[in-house]
């Protein structure tokens, strides 16, 4: 069948649709691989990069091997169909295989105790072992399909570029669908079933297609005869090495940009799972659009070389022009949610109308479809006016507000990335055209270029994340990558275009000023704008103060310290982490409350360092060893430099403290230690990856590493948290720990859990109560005694179960529902509460208070009480903490025996307070 008919053939459109869905399923598989393997290897940049390197390596190897193999076979759709089928079938077993990977990973760690580099090798090896088969099959799909559609040609035609474009656009659709639909609705197993089902559907579709006469096998000898070079080769054959090097370098730059852009967007538009999804969609959409432009506009091989050189130079300039815009993005969110959403919608509609108008100038659509296309701008304008006019009504619906927030994030990511991404998307298909024009077989050409580009992508992700970004920072890293683009554009022009010596000199003189321009144009960022975190709640936050500290890394994003007066605030990607002022009492509580129930003081684990205040408070108690797991090294550096007044240099001066820069969950997975206390303080549950510490599997991991009567303490926010989501957290913990309590301080909630009944040893706590160092901590939070903190107990025992019984009524979820690794409900649900139009904290407090027992359950919680007087003393402290001073006075007045003297001191103190209040 002559290949010339492909460009206008319905057959090509059908195959392009199938390959679109192939790209969609491949992206879904990739996201699932990364998610499941980070449960095993940790949610660190190193672990994620290792998994991605293994994934990309499999794609590259598959493209190379299958590209050469299909050239020795007759062109057939059965080859492509088989690749899709086998990939889908294999991925059905991925969850079980990944569970084995976790076991092997832990066993290898304890057997060999590898270094950081050795552990990376172990992760890469295990990742490659389990995903090599599906990635090989996925990597071979493009060469196999390209071989089929290019049969009879002596070069690679626009149909291959179109297939690549549709596949990339499908990947963009997969990023959006898996983030906003598949995972929230059906979890990992449901999403995996959908992706496998798509692969099976592609296979079944091809079974039907090959039975049609028009899809019969192409007649070509097997093995194919050597193809002669085209009569008018666009580049000399000796330039094959240059094209492969160019493909490799463009891959380096492409993944380097992806790492840099993703990193920057986390502290400009957000780092929830939804924000990361819209970022990936915007990037892949631009890449697919660029490839589609090549298939439509650069089908003439003579245009490929100049287009490649020009696109690289323009890409460098586009990155240079967009770099100063990044630090202005937070100001967009200061507009407020509704205004930002409506403005985003307007910009996207205008952009779409412009694209349609440009297409109408080139094409003259006919028929019903043509009439719709001609009038599309009118329909879109009417739709926008209706949505904008009804914005106030939509603002009353929680889901509408959430979609408006994500639309605002998407518009920011789209408009700053679309230009560079489109130019970036031109590179691969143009290189493919040039390399295919050298007379090589189609499958081998596609596979070789694809493999070299993907190999460069692996190197680019590692260099950008672990070498360039930490040393140069984001603005300079972008300039360096843009410089490389301009230089590549010059090299492509010099070697691939037939330039005379004089023109070559002109080219060199033109490139040199561009490179200089990249470095002399002002491009520094206003760090203060980047630290306000307006993307979280869509409002103009307090922008007073000065930035004392700002450091970037791939793990922590942008860590900063801002000073306003005497208050220093620690921020991570603009999100509050702690300070040396009003937040200190809450962080002290994170240490003192769980200590009430801790019977032994051998080992403790702190997950999440922050300012180090909680660690310092915990170090007041006689633990023999305190392990600290902190994900971001820049947080540790900031705590050491700027928060010694709240952490007391405990990291450096207390020999019991042992710091690990690690993911807390992975630290526990690899640990053989057992802890008497595990305390967890993360920044916010809605941040991507943080909700993993609220899943059932993590609670099971904690229970396995707690000693007899060991205690787990976990911070739980009640602000920007719906009551059903709060109950899901408690219900998940209660399915692992038979004894769960919930405490509510002035601002923050604390979950306390144990496999044993929660009880306080009166003599032990009474001794701590007399310790001067503990008294200092109590003075900082305004509590007269450790027993006062029992007054903050909201739910325990019967009151907890009454609250959990409301879960089904409030949410419609089953009574035994839990957030798990395979259905990460909280990760996808909690970001939606950030844009609710009402304050959830008062609602949650009212709900908790409606369940709180009228009298503190002293008899249930305290044992070894020496006398009834001690019981009344404890109850008095609890009632005072609740704000019931009259009842507290009555309890103190009933105290007899040895505790009478302490009770009289408390009576006088309360009477003085009441007298002062009366005055």
Higher-confidence residue of 592 and 917: namely: 592
Tokens standing for residue 864: 């070894």
**Residue 813: both structure tokens together:** 């979820």
> Worst-scoring range by mean pLDDT, 178-182, 406-410, 482-486, 542-546?
542-546
The CA distance from 723 to 187, in Å, is 22
H or E element at residue 559: strand 557-564
Neighbours of 213 (CB within 10 A): 5
Strand 706-716 with 675-680, pairing: parallel
For helices 10-41 and 77-92, give the axis angle rounded to 10 degrees. Answer: 30
For the CA atoms of 863, 865, 866, 867, what is the dihedral angle to 10 degrees?
Answer: -140
Nearest of 875, 883, 876 to residue 905 by alpha carbon:
876
Report the alpha-carbon distance of residue 447 to residue 607 in Å, rounded. 46
For residue 222, name the pLDDT band (cuts at 50, 70, 90): very low
pLDDT at 152: 61
Structure tokens at 3: 């290949």
Is the four-CA dihedral 251, 252, 253, 258 of positive or negative sign? positive
Classify residue 867 as left (phi > 0), alpha (psi -120 to 50) or beta.
beta
Q: Is the pLDDT of residue 543 over 80?
A: no
Distances (CA, A) of 22 to 196, 197, 409: 10, 11, 27
> Is the pLDDT score of 692 beyond 70?
yes
- What pLDDT, on a 0 to 100 scale, did the predictor assign at position 371? 53
Beta bridge partners of 553: 557
Q: What's the chain's length in residues?
A: 919
Judged against a pLDDT cut of 70, whether residue 224 lies above it is answered with: no
C-alpha 211/C-alpha 433 separation (Å) is 31
Residue range 807-855, pLDDT digits in tens = 999 999 999 999 999 999 999 999 999 988 888 999 999 999 999 988 8
Mean pLDDT of 237-251: 86
For residue 649, count other CB atoms closer than 10 A to its CB: 14
Determine how many CB atoms are found less than 10 A away from the CB of residue 844: 23
Of 353, 405, 411, nearest in space to 383 by CA: 353
pLDDT at site 11: 83
Taking only the tens place, the pLDDT of each residue in 597-627 is 999 999 999 999 999 999 999 999 999 999 9
Q: What is the pLDDT of residue 296?
A: 86
Tell me which of 120 and 819 has the higher pLDDT: 819
State residue 389's pLDDT score.
57
List the 675-680 sheet strands across, edge first: 657-661, 625-630, 603-607, 675-680, 706-716, 749-754, 739-744, 793-796
Place of tokens 């009524």: 809
* pLDDT tens readout for residues 351-375: 877 777 776 666 555 444 555 556 5
- On whether the CB atoms of residues 704 and 671 are closer than 8 A, the answer is no
Q: In whole angstroms, what is the distance from residue 640 CA to residue 727 CA?
A: 37
pLDDT at 774 > cutoff 80: yes
In contact, 732 and 819? CB cutoff 8 Å: yes
What band does 542 get if pLDDT is binned at 50, 70 and 90? low
* DSSP codes joined into one string, 364-377: ---HHHHHHHHTHH
Report the range out of 284-298, 402-416, 485-499, 593-607 with the highest average pLDDT.
593-607
pLDDT score at 219: 38
Q: What is the pLDDT of residue 347?
A: 85
Beta-strand pair 675-680/749-754: unpaired
- For Cα atoms 556, 340, 262, give the angle at the middle one, nearest 5 degrees: 25
Within 565-669, strands assigned E span 567-572, 575-579, 603-607, 625-630, 657-661
Mean pLDDT of 529-554: 84
Show the tokens assigned to 332.
Answer: 């967009």
CA separation for the pair 305, 657 (Å, rounded): 60
pTM of the model: 0.92
Q: What is the pLDDT of residue 188?
A: 95
d(CA 553, CA 257): 15
Evaluate if residue 650 carries a pLDDT over 80.
yes
Separation CA 845–CA 842 (nearest Å):
5
Q: Give the angle subtended at the CA of 48 by the CAs of 46 and 51, to the nearest 5°.
A: 110
Instruction: Tell whether the torsion through CA atoms of 14, 15, 17 and 22 is positive or negative.
Output: positive
- Sheet containing 575-579: which strands, arranged edge to edge? 546-553, 557-564, 567-572, 575-579
* Confidence at residue 691, expressed as pLDDT on a 0 to 100 scale: 92
Residue 306 burial (CB count, 10 A): 16
Q: What is the CA radius of gyration of the chain?
A: 31
For the segment 638-644, the average pLDDT, to the nearest whole number, is 96
CA nearest to 151, candidates 299, 294, 12: 12
**Helices 584-595 & 772-781 angle (0-180, nearest 10):** 130
Distance between CA atoms of 894 and 714, rounded to whole angstroms?
Answer: 36
- Residue (of 537, 496, 601, 499) closest to 245 by Cα position: 496
Our separate counts of H helices and E strands in the chain read: 39, 14
DSSP assignment, residue 744? E
List, for residues 828-839, the tens digit of each pLDDT value. 999 999 988 888
Query: What's the pLDDT at 218?
Result: 46
pLDDT for residue 186: 95
Which range among 46-50, 260-264, 317-321 shows the weakest confidence by mean pLDDT? 46-50
The pLDDT tens digits for 68-115 are 898 888 888 899 999 999 999 999 999 999 999 999 999 999 999 998
Query: Tokens for 64?
Result: 């190379």
Q: For residue 835, with 0-12 CB atoms within 10 Å meaning exposed, 13-18 middle and 19 or more buried, which class applies? A: buried
CB 425 within 8 A of CB 297: no
Whether 298 shows a pLDDT value over 90: the answer reads no
Q: What is the mean pLDDT of residues 746-758?
A: 93
Q: What is the distance between the alpha carbons of residues 884 and 854, in angstroms, rounded to a whole number?
A: 11
pLDDT beyond 80 at 516: no
Predicted local confidence at residue 529, as pLDDT: 86
Assigned token pair, 913: 């307070």
Q: Is the pLDDT of residue 744 over 50?
A: yes
Q: Exposed/middle/buried for 563, CB within 10 Å: 0-12, 13-18, 19+?
A: middle
Other beta carbons within 10 angstroms of residue 542's beta carbon come to 9
The Cα 550–Cα 634 span in angstroms is 9
- Neighbouring residues of 749: CB distance < 8 A, sequence distance ≥ 6: 715, 716, 717, 718, 726, 742, 743, 794
Query: Do 718 and 685 form a contact (C-beta atoms < 8 A)?
Result: no
10 Å Cβ neighbour count for 805? 11
- Other CB atoms within a 10 A radius of the CB of residue 803 amount to 22
- φ/ψ of 890, rounded to 5, equals -60, -40
Mean pLDDT score, 242-255: 92
3-state class percentages of the chain: helix first, strand second, coil last, to nearest 5 = 70, 10, 25
What's the mean pLDDT when you consider all of the chain? 87
* CA–CA distance, 499 with 610 (Å, rounded to integer): 59
Share of the chain above pLDDT 70, in %: 88
Q: What is the pLDDT of residues 457-501, one digit of tens each?
A: 999 988 888 888 888 889 999 999 999 998 898 888 888 877 665
How far apart are the C-alpha atoms of 161 and 165, rounded to whole Å? 6
* Tokens standing for residue 680: 């967890």
Task: State residue 229's pLDDT score.
Answer: 44
Residue 167 has pLDDT above 60, yes or no: yes
Read off the pLDDT of each residue in 260-277 and give the average, rounded to a whole number: 91
Strand 862-863 vs strand 625-630: parallel, antiparallel, or unpaired? unpaired
Confidence class for position 221, pLDDT limits 50, 70, 90:
very low
Structure confidence at residue 398 (pLDDT) = 75
């Amino acid at each position: 069948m002559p290949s010339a008919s492909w460009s206008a053939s319905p057959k090509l459109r059908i195959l392009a649709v199938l390959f679109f869905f192939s790209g969609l399923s491949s992206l879904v598989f990739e996201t699932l691989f990364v998610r499941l393997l980070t449960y095993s290897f940790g949610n660190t940049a190193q672990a994620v990069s290792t998994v991605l390197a293994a994934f990309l390596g499999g794609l590259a190897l598959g493209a190379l091997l299958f590209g050469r193999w299909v050239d020795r076979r007759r062109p057939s759709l059965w080859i492509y169909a088989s690749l899709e089928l086998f990939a889908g079938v294999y991925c059905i077993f991925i969850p079980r295989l990944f569970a084995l990977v976790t076991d092997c990973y832990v066993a290898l760690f304890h057997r060999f105790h590898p270094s950081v580099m050795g552990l990376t090798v172990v992760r890469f090896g295990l990742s490659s072992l389990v995903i090599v088969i599906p990635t090989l099959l996925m990597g071979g799909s493009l060469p196999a399909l390209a071989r089929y559609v290019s049969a009879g040609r002596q070069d690679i035609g626009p149909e291959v570029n179109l297939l690549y474009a549709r596949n990339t656009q499908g990947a963009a659709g997969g990023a959006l669908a898996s983030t906003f639909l598949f995972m929230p609705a059906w979890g990992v197993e449901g999403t995996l079933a959908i992706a496998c089902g798509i692969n099976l559907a592609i296979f079944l579709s091809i079974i039907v297609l090959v039975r049609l006469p028009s899809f019969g096998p192409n007649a070509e000898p097997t093995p194919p005869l050597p193809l002669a070079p085209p009569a008018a080769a666009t580049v000399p054959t000796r330039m094959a090495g240059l094209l492969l090097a160019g493909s490799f370098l463009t891959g380096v730059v492409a993944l380097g940009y992806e790492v840099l852009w993703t990193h920057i967007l986390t502290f400009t538009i957000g780092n929830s799972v939804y924000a990361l999804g819209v970022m990936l969609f915007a990037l892949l959409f631009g890449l697919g659009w660029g490839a589609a432009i090549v298939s439509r506009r650069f089908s003439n091989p003579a245009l490929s070389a100049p287009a490649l050189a020009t696109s690289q130079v323009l890409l460098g300039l586009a990155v240079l022009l967009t770099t100063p815009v990044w630090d202005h993005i937070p100001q967009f969110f200061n507009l407020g949610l509704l205004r930002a959403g409506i403005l985003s919608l307007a910009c996207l509609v205008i952009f779409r109308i412009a694209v349609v108008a440009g297409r109408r100038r080139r094409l003259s659509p006919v028929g019903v479809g043509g009439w719709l296309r001609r009038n599309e701008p009118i329909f879109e304008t009417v739709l926008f006016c209706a949505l904008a006019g009804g914005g106030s009504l939509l603002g009353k619906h929680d889901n509408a507000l959430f979609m408006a927030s994500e639309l605002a994030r998407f518009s920011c990511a789209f408009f700053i990335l679309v230009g560079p991404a489109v130019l970036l998307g031109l590179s691969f298909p143009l290189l493919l055209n040039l390399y295919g024009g050298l007379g090589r077989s189609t499958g081998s050409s596609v596979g070789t270029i694809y493999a070299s580009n993907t190999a460069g992508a692996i190197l680019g992700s590692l260099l950008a994340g672990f070498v360039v970004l930490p040393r140069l920072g984001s603005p300079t890293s972008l300039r360096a990558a843009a410089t490389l683009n301009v230089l590549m554009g010059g090299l492509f022009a010099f070697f691939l275009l037939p330039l005379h010596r004089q023109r070559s000199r002109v080219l060199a003189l033109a490139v040199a000023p561009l490179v200089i321009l990249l470095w002399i144009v002002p491009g520094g960022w206003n760090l203060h704008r980047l630290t306000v975190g307006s993307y979280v709640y869509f409002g103009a936050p307090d922008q007073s103060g000065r930035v004392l500290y700002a450091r970037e890394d791939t793990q922590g994003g942008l860590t900063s310290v801002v000073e306003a007066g005497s208050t220093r605030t620690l921020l991570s990607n603009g999100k509050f982490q702690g300070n040396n002022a009003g937040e200190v009492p809450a962080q002290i509580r994170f240490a003192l409350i769980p200590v009430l129930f801790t019977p032994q003081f051998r080992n403790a684990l702190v997950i999440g360092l922050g300012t180090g205040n909680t660690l310092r408070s915990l170090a007041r108690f006689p633990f023999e060893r305190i392990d600290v797991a902190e994900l971001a090294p820049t947080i540790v550096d900031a705590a050491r430099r700027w928060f010694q007044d709240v952490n007391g240099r405990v990291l450096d001066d207390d020999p019991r403290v042992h710091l690990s820069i690690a993911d807390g969950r992975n630290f526990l997975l690899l640990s053989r230690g057992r802890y008497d206390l595990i305390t967890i303080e993360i920044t916010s549950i809605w941040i991507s990856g943080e909700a993993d510490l609220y899943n059932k599997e993590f609670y099971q991991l904690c229970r396995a590493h707690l000693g007899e009567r060991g205690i787990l303490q976990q911070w739980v926010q009640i602000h920007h948290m719906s009551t059903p989501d709060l109950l899901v957290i408690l219900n998940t913990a209660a399915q692992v720990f038979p004894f769960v309590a919930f405490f509510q301080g002035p601002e923050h909630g604390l979950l306390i859990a144990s496999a044993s009944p929660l009880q306080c040893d009166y003599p032990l706590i009474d001794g701590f109560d007399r310790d001067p160092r503990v008294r200092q901590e109590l003075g900082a939070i305004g509590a007269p005694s450790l027993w006062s903190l029992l007054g903050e107990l909201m739910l325990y025992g019967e009151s907890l179960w009454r609250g959990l019984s409301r879960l089904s009524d409030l949410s419609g979820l089953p009574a035994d529902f839990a957030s798990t690794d395979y259905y990460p409900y909280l990760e996808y649900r909690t970001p939606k509460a950030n844009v609710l139009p009402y304050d959830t904290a008062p609602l949650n407090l009212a709900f908790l208070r409606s369940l709180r027992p009228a009298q503190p359950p002293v008899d249930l919680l305290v044992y070894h009480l020496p006398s009834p007087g001690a019981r009344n003393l404890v109850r008095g402290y609890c009632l005072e903490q609740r704000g019931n001073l009259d009842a507290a006075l009555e309890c103190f007045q009933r105290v007899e025996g040895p505790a009478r003297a302490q009770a009289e001191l408390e009576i006088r103190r309360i009477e003085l307070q009441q007298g002062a209040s009366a005055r």
